[in-house]
Amino acid sequence: MALKSTIFKAEVSIADMDRHYYATHQLTIARHPSETDERMMLRLLAFAMNANQDLSFSKGLSTEKEPELWQKSLSDEVLLWIELGQPDEKRIRKACHQAQRVIVYCYGGRAADIWWAAIKSQLTRFENLTIINVPTEISQSLAKMAARTMRLNYSIDEGQISINDENSMVLYEPEIW
């Protein structure tokens, strides 16, 4: 018998002064049995950093043809493709050809550094690609905020992000590679 996804509910309030985006989203997140709290919380971080009424979670880990999150136009054109982790060059190339913008949120400490060193020379030609590194201490701090029901506040100002719940706060300044 296959394991089922665990459902999480998140009320995500976003105050993005850099983009003048202010909204509260009621999100239902299906965490795949093989997904960690760390990865799930990075999906929420990616959502908050790129929030838009048309941004949505895809089928994620269960579908290789889709990113973690994407934003599509009314004509089904992919405007934004968001990946997590350390995707291979072929997957990133495919995304860059299919979407107007592609963002990869990599994490994993030393493994992410090694991945980036090996792949960056192959990716410099893609002007629509952004790679953002999330340090281990940030991703692990976010993982500690994971709960089946969450109320998270994201405040973004001058490139710095403050994430807080009722018990803790994480400050993060994205490192763009």
What the chain holds in terms of domains, given with CATH numbers, is 6-176 (3.10.640.10)
Instruction: Supply the pLDDT for residue 174.
Output: 95
User: In Å, what is the CA distance from 161 to each residue of 17, 144, 158?
Assistant: 10, 17, 9
User: What is the value of pTM for the model shown?
Assistant: 0.92
pLDDT at 1 over 70: no
141 SS3 class: helix
pLDDT at 2 over 70: no
- Residue 26 binned pLDDT confidence (cut-offs 50, 70, 90): very high
Q: pLDDT by residue (tens digit) across 27-85? A: 999 898 889 999 999 999 999 999 999 999 887 655 677 899 999 999 999 999 999 99
- The count of other CB atoms within 10 Å of the CB of residue 74 is 6
Instruction: Supply the pLDDT for residue 66.
Output: 87
Q: Measured between alpha carbons, how far is 78 from 110 in angstroms, rounded to an integer?
A: 32
Instruction: Supply the pLDDT for residue 64.
Output: 72
Instruction: Supply the pLDDT for residue 109.
Output: 93
Q: Residue with structure tokens 């996804």?
A: 5
Q: Measured between alpha carbons, how far is 18 from 15 in angstroms, rounded to an integer?
A: 9
Q: pLDDT by residue (tens digit) across 95-107? A: 999 999 999 999 9
Packed helices 136-143 and 37-49: angle between N→C axes, nearest 10 degrees:
100
Instruction: Supply the pLDDT for residue 51.
Output: 95
DSSP H helices, the chain, are 37-49, 89-98, 110-123, 136-143
Instruction: Supply the pLDDT for residue 61.
Output: 55
